[in-house]
Amino acid sequence: MEVEEGGEESEFAGEEEDIRVDPAEFLTMIVKGKAIHVLIDIGSTHNFLDYNTARKLGCLLTAITPFGVSVADGKKVQSNYMCKGLTWKMQGVTFDSDMLILPIGGCNKVLGI
């Protein structure tokens, strides 16, 4: 039996705790003067921008050789466009990155690590 500090019995006594932290974080950043929602994904090897977001931001989309991407739910989607040299700002620092264009949905941009 586990006893918490203070001498009272824990309501979780005898239960094993399994705490999992999702490594992904949602942040807000500025792209072309507009705030967008970003997912930082340690499992992603590339950077992605949502197709509708790219259109709203007026990004110049360059056609590329179709690039297959496996997403979190196991489905495969295809990127046919890239936004080259997209300038964005986070925590006061400016970056330039090539972004593959995908129909992301839940956020505007995915940053791979």
Query: pLDDT tens for residues 55-113?
Result: 999 999 999 999 898 877 788 889 999 999 999 888 888 999 999 999 987 788 888 87
Which sequence spans correspond to the domains of the chain? 25-112
25-112 is classed in which CATH architecture?
Beta Barrel (2.40)
pLDDT at 45 > cutoff 60: yes
If DSSP states are collapsed to H, E and C, what string results for the chain?
Answer: CCECCCCCECCCCCCCCCCCCCCCEEEEEEECCEEEEEEEECCCCCCEEEHHHHHHHCCCCEEEEEEEEECCCCCEEEEEEEEEEEEEEECCEEEEEEEEEECCCCCCEEEEC
Higher-scoring residue by pLDDT: 23, 80: 80
Q: What is the pLDDT of residues 28-37, one digit of tens each?
A: 888 888 888 8
Segment among 2-11, 40-49, 76-85, 87-96 with least mean pLDDT:
2-11
